[in-house]
Amino acid sequence: MASICQRWFALVLLLMTVAQAKQTICQGSNHLQQKFAYEPTLSFPSKNYPHLAISYDTTSKVSRILAPSSNSAWKIVAGLCGQGFSFESTTQPNHFLRHRHLLLFVDPFVNTALYKNDACFKPVTGLADCNEVSFQSINYPDRFLRHQGYRMKLHQNDGSSLFKNDATFNIQTICHGSNHLQQKFAYEPTLSFPSKNYPHLAISYDTTSKVSRILAPSSNSAWKIVARALWPRVQL
């Protein structure tokens, strides 16, 4: 009996630790605004279907969540309507993600107020996960992008966990080489580094021994990124 209680207690501690780690890393919607203004090209895998990302069919221009391809890479530009951001196709320049009759398409640019408003979205803290992102329509602010039947749509938030998961997406930076990494480290205030082959573990350390290990996410796996110049040179 004591062993079972100890296991339950350990599980509760682990869950509390993970929750604390998420709270440490989450930066809020203002950070998202800055990130979108900074990152040149992004992809948005679905939270509940992480092997699929916001994309579109080249022929029909219908937006769906599909297996990653060049059509799921988006150039982030200032909102065509003067607010938020717009997503330009990297494979078909001057084509933007926009809603029509509450369905999402990738249409060629048309210089009208309707098109510009339909193509503007505001990134907000993920409805299902504060480390991820949801997209609010600029001209229908009570509606969010979500996938349903793999098709991208604009729906009102009904508060259900299904909706929140369908409307939450990961932010994936498209590879830009080492120079981009240098800029990213200079820009991001706090980062965590999960292992590639043990993704449930991240670079961390033991508080007592100070030994660095890959461990379950905790506040010790959140790192403040600072410039080297802030530290005095060590005299050897």
pLDDT tens-digit profile, the chain (236 residues): 555 555 544 444 333 333 333 433 565 566 676 667 666 789 999 999 999 999 999 999 999 999 999 999 999 999 999 999 999 999 999 999 999 999 999 999 999 999 999 999 999 999 999 889 999 999 999 999 999 999 999 999 999 999 999 999 999 887 655 555 555 665 566 788 888 888 789 999 999 999 999 999 888 988 887 765 444 544 44
Domain of 214, in residue numbers: 188-223
Query: What's 77's DSSP letter?
Result: E
- H or E element that contains 89: strand 85-89
CATH number at residue 74: 2.80.10.50
**Count of CA atoms in the C-beta half-sphere (13 A) of 24:** 17
Say whether pTM exceeds 0.75: no
Q: Where do runs of H (alpha helix) occur along 26-93?
A: 29-38
> Does 161 map to a domain?
yes
Q: Are residues 43 and 154 in the same domain?
A: yes
How big is the chain, counted in residues?
236
> Does 181 map to a domain?
no
Decide: residue 177, CB within 10 A, 0-12 exposed, 13-18 middle, 19+ buried.
Answer: exposed
Q: Token pair for residue 22? A: 């998420």
Q: Are residues 39 and 105 in the same domain?
A: yes
Q: Are residues 60 and 160 in the same domain?
A: yes
